Amino acid sequence: MSSTNDPFHAVNDLLAGISAKVIVVDFHAEATSEKVAMGWHLDGRVTAVLGTHTHVPTADQRILPNGTAYQTDVGMSGPYDSVIGVQKEMVLHKFLTGMPSKFEAAKGNPKMCAVLVTCDPLTGRASAIQRIMLGE
């Protein structure tokens, strides 16, 4: 398998060329199983593996055994009176009718999702990860 065909081999190649100790991997992917697997793949090799893309924050933040902070999805920053950021009426119209629907960004109930990772800058190992969701 070519190293450019999948993220697991590609990240091996990328890390071989990085000398920094503190490395944060934003794994922008859909499947939670792939993100969990990437956390284990990189445990002890990077400071944090943080999933993004699904817009829904997961509650599985933790420090893996070899010192990598991990969370399957950090969540979105945007309007939560919505369907992952889109006006809910537009999404419901599509689901209820099966017809294509124009999608526009919603506005209500803004929140910001993030994580706070504490690490040793000399080793790059994480010692804590905190899930954050800030409201209005």
Which residues contribute to the site for Fe ion (CB under 5 A)?
53
Q: Which residues pair with 52 in a beta bridge?
A: 28
63 versus 71: smaller Cβ distance to Fe ion: 71
Closest CB to Fe ion among residues 26, 120 = 26
Closest distance to Fe ion from the beta carbon of 78 (Å): 12
CB 84 to Fe ion: min, Å:
10
Q: Which residue's CB is nearer to Fe ion, number 28 or number 107?
A: 28
* Least spacing, CB of residue 124 vs Fe ion, in Å: 27
Give the pair of three-digit tokens for residue 2. 């070519």
* Helix residue spans in 25-130 (DSSP H): 32-42, 88-97
Cβ atoms 124, 47 nearer than 8 A: yes
